[in-house]
A and B are shown apart, each in its own frame.
Chain A
Amino acid sequence: MKTANKRLTAERLVRDALEKAKHFADYNIFTFLNEEGAIKRAREIDARIARGETVGKLAGVPFALKDNFLSPEGQTTASAHILEGFVSPVTATAVAKLEAEGAIMIGRTNLDAFAHGSSTENSYFGPTLNAYDKERVAGGSSGGSAVAVALDIVEFATGTDTGGSIRQPASFNGIYGLKPTYGCISRYGVVAMASSTDCIGFLTKTPDDMDLLMSITSGQDPKDMTTLPDYYETNTHLATRIGIIKDFDNDSVDAEIREALRSKCDLLKSKGYEIVELEMPALKYALAAYYIIVPAEVASNLSRYDGVRYGFRSENSDTLDGLYLNTRSEGFMPENKRRIMIGNFVLSSGFYDAYFLKAAKARTLIVQEYEKAFDKCDYILTPVSPSPAFKLGEKLNDPVAMYLEDVMSVSLNLAGVPGLAIPAGKSASGLPIGLQLVGPRRSDKSLIEFSKELM
């Protein structure tokens, strides 16, 4: 990526990015443009360059921040009405690390409210449009981030991935998107969705950019006890065997996506790699387990939004209980309400054993299935989603159809393993097709390096 120097100033880079952001305003990518703050930061960096100081590996690089990362610049809304007006006094660890290397946030990007969704249509601010076809969805929940990178407004964008929210929008817009190993990057200062599967990651144009961002942001953080110091490798290891999952090669997956997978397998074979067919029958249950475990954690994490301490507060409530009820009734989107209610259903007395406990056991089988698979191969290559970007509104009134978008992405989050969405050509109608490389825990760097074999 382009960094600032004496000839190419940070201010130039930032002004160009802001201009492009305004040019593409009709895509509804940004919830906030950081014009004043970004130019101020750029001038500071230019002054340091002029003085001959070192300014970091991302000097003057404009980036877009998914609007569920806390920082004092602009409101952090998570595209939810209930957080309207919330300007955070704290900065997320990942943001602080990027800014310490000189990166400049030029805007906050749109998402499905609280990252609940696979199309960015569940945003309080309306949907973001696909970079390749304005009648189609951007994917989600990191839809704004994906389109900001795909339209070349910024060099990279941050994302969060709880069940596919980085990989699916990356694949819908023809770019790279990494869901790292669980615990790789600190979640401190990021609006929580489901704590046992939430991952922070990036959307980029190249594997090398991804590697650079991972090396900067990963590592232990005393503010997030689920981070470990050595999660991002320093060396890469060589792969010889690539697995493909037989159960995913059927009519429920778009023919052009299956063809793209076959053609990448042929490419790997021609380079001397062995292709291994895997049977992973437990993955069939991953989506059902996911839509039990995640709503349960969502119901718990979203119980904090009560209108008292920050964000939106409903007017005209006579009692404290009324204030809670009115604020939450008016502040949540329908999909937020669905997930909270499902979460409370699977956790409630009489249903806990049949749903939540059962799903936690299914999760064990999914973890074990990945462990067995990685005895037989180094990485797995699969589709990201069953189809390329779908039409706006197509799945909005059918939550189960929308959830099925995540059928091939959620198992990674349940198992904690990394997945990298990579561009794999276009459909006959010109829509980007993405594939997903999956590796064992802690293989993130090797996975990124290996993706270059598929270019």
Chain B
Amino acid sequence: MKIKREDILHLANLSNFTLSDEEVLSLGKDLQDIIKYISQLDDLDTSEVKSTYQVFEMENVWRSDEIIEQDASSEQLLALTKNEKDNQIKVPKVL
């Protein structure tokens, strides 16, 4: 399939970043090459095959329903942000 400029912009939008004009060109070419490569799976017959999403051998792992102490305190976590006020993280306006 042919990847168009608007496809690249749509994917960047889904990915939550913007691209410069230069990036649109270079990433566009790269994505075209990569999609061509991964499309070789078309040749593989998987009509009778179930899918695998993980190779872990257990279905569920249970633990007792108790509150577990966290490794980091809320003070330590808040200290990681660039802009904190009154125990809250400050960001630009939402609306």
Flag B19-39 by CB within 8 Å of A: 1 or 0 each: 100010011001101110111
Output the residue of B35, B43, B63, B73 with the most chain A CB within 10 A.
Answer: B35
Contact B51 A360 (CB under 8 A): yes
Cβ of A215 under 8 Å from chain B: no
Specify which of A317, A319, A400 is in contact with B34 (CB 8 Å cutoff).
A400
Flag A406-420 by CB within 8 Å of B: 1 or 0 each: 000000001110000
Q: Which residues, 45 to 89 on B, are CB-close (under 8 Å) to A? A: 46, 49-58, 61, 63, 68, 71-73, 76-77, 79-83, 89
Contact B31 A342 (CB under 8 A): yes
Specify which of A307, A310, A348, A355 is in contact with B41 (CB 8 Å cutoff).
A355
* Main SS at interface, chain A: helix
Q: How many A-B residue pairs have CB under 8 A?
A: 168
Contact B16 A325 (CB under 8 A): yes
Contact A318 B92 (CB under 8 A): yes
Cβ of A40 under 8 Å from chain B: no
The range of chain A's interface size is 35 or more
Cβ of A225 under 8 Å from chain B: yes
Contact B52 A364 (CB under 8 A): yes
Cβ of A320 under 8 Å from chain B: yes
Contact A345 B57 (CB under 8 A): no
Cβ of A56 under 8 Å from chain B: no
Contact A338 B49 (CB under 8 A): no
Known: A309-B80, A399-B34. A341 touches B92 (CB 8 A): no
Contact B49 A365 (CB under 8 A): yes
- Some 28 contacts from A to B, beta carbons below 8 A apart, are A86-B80, A89-B76, A90-B71, A183-B57, A225-B61, A285-B41, A291-B37, A299-B15, A306-B16, A307-B82, A308-B89, A309-B77, A309-B89, A310-B80, A313-B83, A328-B16, A340-B17, A341-B8, A341-B31, A346-B38, A357-B51, A359-B41, A361-B51, A361-B52, A362-B41, A364-B51, A398-B33, A403-B37
Q: Which residue of B lies closest to A415 (CB)?
A: B55
Lowest 7 A-B CB distances belong to which pairs? Answer: A416-B55, A360-B51, A361-B46, A310-B80, A89-B76, A89-B72, A328-B17
Q: Which residues, 322 to 338 on A, are CB-close (under 8 Å) to B? A: 322-326, 328-329, 332, 334, 337-338
Q: Which residue of B lies closest to A327 (CB)?
A: B17
Chain A residues whose CB sits within 8 angstroms of the CB of B58 once the complex forms: 228
Q: Which residue of A lies closest to B58 (CB)?
A: A228
Chain B residues whose CB sits within 8 angstroms of the CB of A359 once the complex forms: 38, 41
Chain A residues whose CB sits within 8 angstroms of the CB of B50 once the complex forms: 361, 364
Chain A residues whose CB sits within 8 angstroms of the CB of B89 once the complex forms: 308-309
Q: Which residues, 389 to 408 on A, are CB-close (under 8 Å) to B? A: 398-400, 403
Q: Which residue of B lies closest to A319 (CB)?
A: B92
In angstroms, Cα B35 to Cα A91, docked, is 38
Chain B residues whose CB sits within 8 angstroms of the CB of A310 once the complex forms: 80-81
Contact A341 B27 (CB under 8 A): yes
Chain B residues whose CB sits within 8 angstroms of the CB of A334 once the complex forms: 23, 26-27
Q: Report the minimal beta-carbon distance from B14 to chain A, rounded to whole angstroms.
A: 4
Cβ of B5 under 8 Å from chain A: no
Q: Which residues, 353 to 400 on A, are CB-close (under 8 Å) to B? A: 354-355, 357-365, 367, 398-400
Known: A291-B34, A322-B92, A338-B30. A362 touches B19 (CB 8 A): no
Contact B37 A400 (CB under 8 A): yes
In angstroms, Cα B1 to Cα A200, docked, is 37
Cβ of A451 under 8 Å from chain B: no
Q: Which residue of B lies closest to A364 (CB)?
A: B52
In angstroms, Cα B8 to Cα A39, docked, is 50
Cβ of A226 under 8 Å from chain B: yes
Contact A344 B41 (CB under 8 A): no
In angstroms, Cα B14 to Cα A399, docked, is 21
Contact A329 B19 (CB under 8 A): yes
In angstroms, Cα B17 to Cα A303, docked, is 10
Chain B residues whose CB sits within 8 angstroms of the CB of A325 once the complex forms: 16-18
Q: Report the minimal beta-carbon distance from A333 to chain B, rounded to whole angstroms.
A: 12
In angstroms, Cα B40 to Cα A355, docked, is 10
Chain B residues whose CB sits within 8 angstroms of the CB of A288 once the complex forms: 37-41
Specify which of A308, A341, A346 is in contact with B15 (CB 8 Å cutoff).
A341
Q: Report the minimal beta-carbon distance from A200 to chain B, rounded to whole angstroms.
A: 15
Known: A310-B80, A362-B46. A399 touches B52 (CB 8 A): no
In angstroms, Cα B89 to Cα A324, docked, is 14
Cβ of A17 under 8 Å from chain B: no
In angstroms, Cα B35 to Cα A403, docked, is 12
Cβ of B93 under 8 Å from chain A: yes
In angstroms, Cα B52 to Cα A196, docked, is 10
Cβ of A182 under 8 Å from chain B: yes
Contact B46 A345 (CB under 8 A): no
Output the residue of B11, B26, B49, B52 with the most chain A CB within 10 A.
Answer: B52
Q: Report the minimal beta-carbon distance from B86 to chain A, rounded to whole angstroms.
A: 16
Chain A residues whose CB sits within 8 angstroms of the CB of B83 once the complex forms: 313
In angstroms, Cα B42 to Cα A285, docked, is 10
Q: Beyond A360-B53, A361-B52: 17 further Cβ-contacts under 8 Å? A: A86-B80, A182-B56, A285-B44, A291-B37, A317-B92, A328-B17, A337-B27, A338-B30, A338-B34, A341-B14, A341-B31, A358-B44, A359-B38, A360-B52, A361-B46, A362-B44, A414-B55
